[in-house]
Chain A
Amino acid sequence: MAETLRELLSEEELLGFFEQMVLCREFEESCAEQYSKGHITGFLHLYTGQEAVAVGCTAGLQEKDYILSAYRDHAQAIVRGADPKKVMAELFGKATGLCKGKGGSMHLFAPELNFMGGYAIVGGQFPIATGLAWGSQLLEEDRVTACLFGDGSMNQGTFHESLNWARLWDLPVLFICENNFYGIGTEVHRASAQAALHRRTCGYDIPSEKVDGMDVIAMYQATKRAAEWVRERQRPYFIEAVTYRFRGHSMSDPAKYRSPSETDVWKTRDPIPNLSRRLLEEGIATKEQLEEITKRCLARVEESVRFAEESPWPEDAAVWEDIYV
């Protein structure tokens, strides 16, 4: 990249990106530990490796924009501003959790931050994103709806239905595919006849581009440009963010379907060391500063675990609450 980081973003923004990515990474590593201790149960899908996508795309949106995601949703919620304490408490199933312990890892939700949810039926969020965009358009709120999803969900009927619908009605949806190459253990070319996923939107007359999802700056720039395009034209757009998850699909997956050498190659592209290297090279931060940030993130994560541990369980009566208004 010809431009220097300083030309693109302020020091504060750049360090913010670094801090958010480290916070997500440490949060997820802590989740793995808490899972092994039995404090977190159920399904747990970690975001490790994909941090640049959540951080970059969130930064490219405006606060009023809606964002929603699939079940690998901790990072998107935290980057949007959800308190890691409440997220961790949710994973512990505690009453102080983001969703009172009723949602769990896959169903985070923070409407005050316009984080409109994690959805755990693959592709279930496409129609909802389309509806959110329509609703906000009717209400003339000038919002963009950013719909995040994995490569595997592009083979669901809802993908086709919703992309067709969003273009037909000209709705402000920014579709962002997090292509981490695997739907659980099925590699993208074994599931999609067209493995160049961004090319699949031509049938819906939706422009698309492929972005390096391991580069937070690239992700930020692409999202910002795309979101403003969507806002101005009131039309959907599609980004394929090429990324990689360093862990298995979920905690029960040892990821034997891919070679260690493949994972090793991708680890050389780890978005966090890559950004820190650039920050150091360009003299934007010192090693000590970055260590300080990492320490701060670790402390926040430890605090979130402590908060979750000490929080009360939901009352039995809560089981009957929130079904109906």
Chain B
Amino acid sequence: MAEMTYRDAINLALKEEMRRDKTVVVYGEDVALYEGAFKVTRGLLSEFGELRVRDCPISENTIVGVAVGAAMAGIRPVAELMTVNFALLAMDQIVNHMAKVRYMFGGQTKVPMVVRMPGGGGSQLGAQHSQSLESYFMHCPGMLVAYPATPADAKGLLKTSIREDNPVIFLEHELLYNSKGEVPEDPEYLVPFGKASVMREGEQVTLVGYGRMAILALQAAQQLEKDGISCEVIDLRTLVPLDMEMVLASVRKTGRVAVIEECWKSAGLGGDIASRIYEGCFDTLLAPVHRISGLDVPMPYSRKIEKLCIPQLEGIVQGVHDLLNEPY
């Protein structure tokens, strides 16, 4: 194990997979010479050369489509969209092409590709650069969606994504890049898809999160422990496939659950998870599923009001108190 940042863990995963498999290529806007807007691709150009690490024009739809074509041709492209917000320009290639070609061509092709997208809010970047679009990607069948919370998972999930034969949307939280954690140095360290992790065991309330929301949930659980409240924290790790088995097992134990989502509440993934909880263990619930969500507003710039729009530690703590006080 080595302590490293979330950023460096992703960087290491890219390097290890590129060393292992010559068909793995990395490209995107400013990923080569500039080494990435968030410096995630640092050192790649110098180690792997310009054939395998390439800068490309600001053409998001084509960035994704080129990966679809290259993957069909037998390459394993890892494309970076500078931020998730720009994925909206690429939704045609993501939804209409990447996620569909295998099915509509009767299983005669596959697209082993990864699209990395830094995103999330909280850096005062305004309405167009602070979005959490994970629910958009979960809605469409035909692609997998990963969203690591820890450096170890960032490494292990990205390596699995690159080896995966299905297309993967790989979401990274911009505020986690500098977070540190222990990361296995084993170049075969892989984190499987569809397996959530129990970040902390507890008895009274289940907190379900992903990405930065899982980290906040863990911090909330640590704080609530001081008040004598025992929370179990589940990090979903991948949103597609979704490990409902682990969520339901935990809810059956605790009887109370809060789902923490950074995205907008309307049609957000928390509603989907809540409905699955109701379908799966309604009889064991001691209170309605509690949702702690992003506010349904475009993100404002000013930090005083920006933080109202994103789930905060205090809000999660309060949410757990509310949940325990539900008169059921």
Q: Within 8 Å CB of A165, what residues of B? A: 56-57, 59, 62, 66
Residue in B61, B77, B102 whose beta carbon sits within 8 Å of that of A161 in the complex: B61
For A147, give the chain B residue with the smallest CB separation: B69
Q: Within 8 Å CB of B65, what residues of A? A: 124, 126-128, 130-131, 158, 162
Q: Is B106 engaged at the interface, CB distance under 8 Å to the other chain?
A: yes
| Residues from 69 to 98 in B contacting A, C-beta threshold 8 Å | 69-75, 77, 92-93, 96-97
Residue in A109, A110, A128, A325 whose beta carbon sits within 8 Å of that of B68 in the complex: A128
Residue in B54, B59, B109, B141 whose beta carbon sits within 8 Å of that of A323 in the complex: B141
The interface bits of chain A over 141-185 (1 if a CB of B lies within 8 angstroms of the residue's CB, else 0) are 000000000000000011001101100110000000000000000
Q: Are B142 and A103 in contact (CB under 8 A)?
A: no
Q: Are A117 and B75 in contact (CB under 8 A)?
A: no
Q: Is A30 engaged at the interface, CB distance under 8 Å to the other chain?
A: no
| Residues from 113 to 137 in A contacting B, C-beta threshold 8 Å | 116-117, 119, 121, 124, 126-136
B154 to chain A, nearest CB (A): 23
Q: Are A107 and B62 in contact (CB under 8 A)?
A: no
For B79, give the chain A residue with the smallest CB separation: A131
Q: Within 8 Å CB of A130, what residues of B? A: 62, 65-66, 69
Q: Within 8 Å CB of A136, what residues of B? A: 73
B242 to chain A, nearest CB (A): 14
Residue in B69, B104, B144 whose beta carbon sits within 8 Å of that of A131 in the complex: B69
Q: Within 8 Å CB of A66, what residues of B? A: 73
For A127, give the chain B residue with the smallest CB separation: B65
- A131, B54: Cα distance in complex, Å: 13
Q: Is A7 engaged at the interface, CB distance under 8 Å to the other chain?
A: no
A325 to chain B, nearest CB (A): 4
| Residues from 19 to 76 in B contacting A, C-beta threshold 8 Å | 23, 25, 51, 54, 56-57, 59, 61-62, 64-75
A29 to chain B, nearest CB (A): 26
Work out how many contacts link A and B, with CB atoms closer than 8 A. 139
Q: Is A99 engaged at the interface, CB distance under 8 Å to the other chain?
A: yes
Q: Are A158 and B101 in contact (CB under 8 A)?
A: no
Q: Is B228 engaged at the interface, CB distance under 8 Å to the other chain?
A: no
Chain A interface residue count, CB cutoff 8 Å, equals 43
Q: Is B327 engaged at the interface, CB distance under 8 Å to the other chain?
A: no
Residue in B59, B75, B93, B166 whose beta carbon sits within 8 Å of that of A134 in the complex: B75
* Central interface residue in A119, A128, A134, A135, by most chain B CB within 10 Å: A128
B121 to chain A, nearest CB (A): 27
Q: Are A99 and B62 in contact (CB under 8 A)?
A: no
Q: Is A97 engaged at the interface, CB distance under 8 Å to the other chain?
A: yes
The interface bits of chain B over 156-178 (1 if a CB of A lies within 8 angstroms of the residue's CB, else 0) are 00000000011000000000000
Q: Are A323 and B57 in contact (CB under 8 A)?
A: no
For B61, give the chain A residue with the smallest CB separation: A158
- A162, B61: Cα distance in complex, Å: 9
Q: Is A111 engaged at the interface, CB distance under 8 Å to the other chain?
A: yes
Residue in A121, A135, A161 whose beta carbon sits within 8 Å of that of B57 in the complex: A161
- A11, B154: Cα distance in complex, Å: 63
Q: Are B109 and A111 in contact (CB under 8 A)?
A: yes
Q: Is B108 engaged at the interface, CB distance under 8 Å to the other chain?
A: yes
Q: Within 8 Å CB of B291, what residues of A? A: none
Q: Within 8 Å CB of A168, what residues of B? A: 56-57
What are 6 contact pairs spanning A and B, CB under 8 A?
Answer: A121-B92, A135-B75, A138-B25, A165-B66, A325-B102, A325-B110
Q: Show the binding face of B for A, using Cβ within 8 Å.
A: 23, 25, 51, 54, 56-57, 59, 61-62, 64-75, 77, 92-93, 96-97, 101-110, 141-142, 144, 165-166
For the complex with contacts A131-B72, A325-B165, 19 further pairs of A-B residues with Cβ separation under 8 Å are A66-B73, A99-B108, A110-B108, A124-B92, A131-B66, A134-B75, A135-B70, A136-B73, A138-B23, A139-B73, A158-B62, A161-B62, A164-B59, A165-B57, A165-B59, A165-B62, A168-B57, A323-B102, A324-B144
- CB-based closest 10 A-B pairs: A127-B65, A131-B69, A135-B73, A99-B106, A322-B107, A161-B59, A109-B105, A131-B66, A100-B106, A135-B70
